[in-house]
Amino acid sequence: MKRDSFNVLFFIKKAKLLKNGEASVCMRITVNGARVENNIRKSIEPSLWNQAKECAKGKSRKSCDLNAYIEDARIKLYQTFNELEEQGRFITARLLQEKFFGQDQVPEVVRTLIQTIQEHNDQCRKLVGKDYALITVRRYESCKRYLAELIKLKYGKEDLPLLEVNGELVRAFEFYLKTEKECQQNTVIRYMKCLKKITNLALANEWITKDPFIGIKFHEKEVIREFLTMDELLTIYHKEFPLERITIVRDVFIFAGFTFVALTNVCLIINKLQTNNRGIGNGLETTCLHHFA
């Protein structure tokens, strides 16, 4: 299982000094590339700050007090991080910040990737026939399933906080689709577009602040569709299928192939036949031809 990365950095703000000429000391917490910064309400003269060691210079009372605070803060943060990791919690920089400053009385709601896709898919399903086609919703559901498999394989987790979705995950998903799912280039791009819609949604709602697709581009391959030969069409025509529904699909395909009638018009014919209680089955292409005679 891949461990969460964690780092804490102390620095001063030289660009904006206080009225007494001192610089505010700040703390930056970084977890898996996402970070938060805080003013720890302490200050020091810029000339007395050692950035390489992240501490104050000298033996004065103020320098010693500041260095002691920084050391205690660092220890507390690492202890908190280890405790959360042992509990199997989703760890974010903001959660550590709130734990440190005692602002975590209300549990942080961590929005995750799979959860967000599921909410999106649930909404899309309610709009099937209005804003979305069923096949589109099914593609989003497949995208969610494949991402969940990848997260389990790569991170050993059931889900991933949105704040941890980055370019590395995007590229890993592309590689996973090509190798594990054996998807062709254009199919891969369709799934990547599904993921990008979710990250765009997260950006719009300010759940994330950085687009994980920055610098990543995909190019569809031009597909040249070949026509069936007469022999191939006749092979399909004479093919027997054990299932009636497959036979009906064959009849619709053969009818469209011989007449060049658009699929939408074929569907209208089928609907008319069903409305008249005539039913549909073997020999559909013959029945349909009468409607265009």
Rounded Cα distance between 59 and 127, Å, is 68
At 213, list the tokens. Answer: 């697709």
- Convert the pLDDT of each residue in 73-118 to its tens digit: 999 999 999 988 887 777 888 888 888 887 654 445 678 999 999 9
Among the listed ranges 88-97, 103-112, 119-128, 194-203, which one has the minimum average pLDDT value?
A: 103-112
Of the candidates 96, 113, 103, 98, the residue with the CA atom closest to the CA atom of residue 31: 96
Report pTM. 0.52
Averaged over 280-291, what is the pLDDT?
Answer: 46
Q: What is the pLDDT of residue 52?
A: 95
Q: What is the pLDDT of residue 229?
A: 86
Rounded Cα distance between 49 and 13, Å, is 11
Of the candidates 120, 112, 104, 139, the residue with the CA atom closest to the CA atom of residue 208: 112
Among the listed ranges 23-37, 182-196, 254-268, which one has the minimum average pLDDT value?
A: 254-268
Class of domain 113-205: mainly alpha
Domain boundary assignment for the chain: 6-103, 113-205, 230-277
The DSSP secondary structure of the chain, one letter per residue, reads: -PPPPEEEEEEE-SSS--TTS-EEEEEEEEETTEEEEEEEEEEE-GGGEETTTTEE-SSSHHHHHHHHHHHHHHHHHHHHHHHHHHTT----HHHHHHHHHT--SSPP---BHHHHHHHHHHHHHHTBTTTB-HHHHHHHHHHHHHHHHHHHHHHSSS--BGGG--HHHHHHHHHHHHHTS---HHHHHHHHHHHHHHHHHHHHTTS-SS-TTTT----PPP--PPPPPHHHHHHHHH---SSHHHHHHHHHHHHHHHH---HHHHHHHHHHHHHTT----TTHHHHHHHHT-
